[in-house]
Amino acid sequence: MSAEKHLLEELRIERKESARRSPWRIAIALVIPAVLLILTAGFFWLKAARAPEVTVAVVREESAGGAATVLNASGYVTPRLRATVSSKITGKVTEVLIEEGKSVTEGQVIGRLDDSNARRDLDLAEAQLVSARKSLAETEARLKLANITLQRMRTLVKEGVESQSTLDSAQADADALTAHLNQQREDVAVAEQTVAVRKQNVEDTIIRAPFSGVVTTKDAQPGEMISPISAGGGFTRTGICTVVDMKSLEIQVDVNESYISRVFPGQAVAATLDAYPDWQIPAHVILAVPTADRQKATVQVRIKFDKLDPRILPDMGVKVAFLEKESPRASDSKPKLLVPKAAVRHEGELDAVYVVQQDRVERRAVKVIGSSGAELEISGVTRGERVVLQGPPGLADGSRVTVK
């Protein structure tokens, strides 16, 4: 019996130790599910808080002006006066005095070439000129003496003291010196022209701006060779910079020859730069170049800005709308409100747009009045409002969105 009791004592579980460990187990059992619940709730909250992205466009206003668009075209802003400035001679660049975007005036020094050889030639030519003038002075003195001797011989011959042969010899000496003097005068003139040429060679090592404008590219650095013609492959530059006269900017577009009859000199044009799609620039047609491109079947049209702006830069892409002549009742016309066609949604018999108001969208019914190219003229919106172009399928009034 005592043996069985001993065995039962060994199988008994100590309740004090179990009771001492149980609070930790209970705490862990409660904390882990709570943490998982919080993480799951946070995930779904973040997912719900992240609003879908939408693409928007700005409602723009276009003055009706009684002038409808008769033709649309695209082209580029082109300066009439643009030059790659080079030197007149081949030489090594020693100094470049310009940077991109810097304004220059006509005649301003923008670079220099190595002029050491040209200056040595100039020094030699000036020395030769000095020598020629000294020789001329010597010959003039000798001729003066020869003329005095000739005059004396004439007197002596008249008095019978000297013979005629002596007079003839004195006359020949004077004539020879006169001819030599004339030759030396020509030599001095040639030496002066040589000096002028050598000075011009030195001047040619100085590169100046041909007209006032803005430097758009810097094409050479000190130490490089520059030449007015292509020489030496890629090791020789043909220009030091490019200068553009910003006052000569205009638009050049290619118009299909089938529609060139709609274009006439002085015609009003509405130009829109690709960089500033909401900015309409008034312009007018200068002329249509009187020749056609047989390969593209187009005619080039030159368009002048009514007023230039610093935002207009060379080689910018631009779209133009040729306008018809203004009607007599142009002042009574109201401005048009235009949006891209993708912004208008057809919902049954109604048309609507979604206007972005801060971080939510407002569904607004609109009326389509007409179309203008890729845009629609509508009513029910105001200028400057943002309308949704692309958004999630479930977009509804009051939905939270993020502008892309």
CATH number of 69-80+245-325: 2.40.30.170
pLDDT at 333: 58
Please say if the pLDDT value at position 53 is more than 70: yes
For residue 242, the tally of other CB atoms under 10 A from its CB is: 18
**E-assigned strand segments in 230-359:** 236-237, 241-244, 249-256, 268-273, 280-293, 298-305, 317-323, 336-340, 345-347, 350-357
**pLDDT category, 371, cuts 50, 70, 90?**
confident
* Whole-number Cα distances in Å, 208 to 56, 106, 175: 50, 8, 51
**pLDDT category, 149, cuts 50, 70, 90?**
confident
Computed on alpha carbons and rounded to an integer, the radius of gyration of the chain in Å comes to: 46
What does the mean pLDDT of the chain come to? Answer: 84
For β-strands 241-244 and 82-85, DSSP reports them as antiparallel
Extents of the domains making up the chain: 2-49, 53-63+334-403, 69-80+245-325, 82-114+205-244, 116-203
pTM of the predicted model over 0.75: no
CA distance 319 to 251: 9
Tens of pLDDT, residue by residue over 215-271, are 999 999 999 998 887 655 556 788 899 999 999 999 999 999 999 999 999 999 999
Q: What angle do CA 72, 73, 78 make, to 5 degrees?
A: 140
Task: For domain 53-63+334-403, give its CATH number from 3.40.470.10, 3.30.1340.10, 2.40.420.20, 1.10.357.140.
Answer: 2.40.420.20
**pLDDT category, 137, cuts 50, 70, 90?**
very high
Please say if the pLDDT value at position 67 is more than 70: no
Contacts of 253 (CB under 8 A, 6+ apart): 73, 74, 75, 300, 301, 303, 318, 320
- Is 116-203 in the same CATH topology as 82-114+205-244? no
Please say if the pLDDT value at position 345 is more than 70: yes
Task: Return the CATH architecture of domain 82-114+205-244.
Answer: Beta Barrel (2.40)
Tens of pLDDT, residue by residue over 164-191, are 888 888 889 888 988 988 998 999 999 9
Tens of pLDDT, residue by residue over 378-396, are 888 888 899 998 888 878 8
Task: Return the CATH architecture of domain 116-203.
Answer: Orthogonal Bundle (1.10)
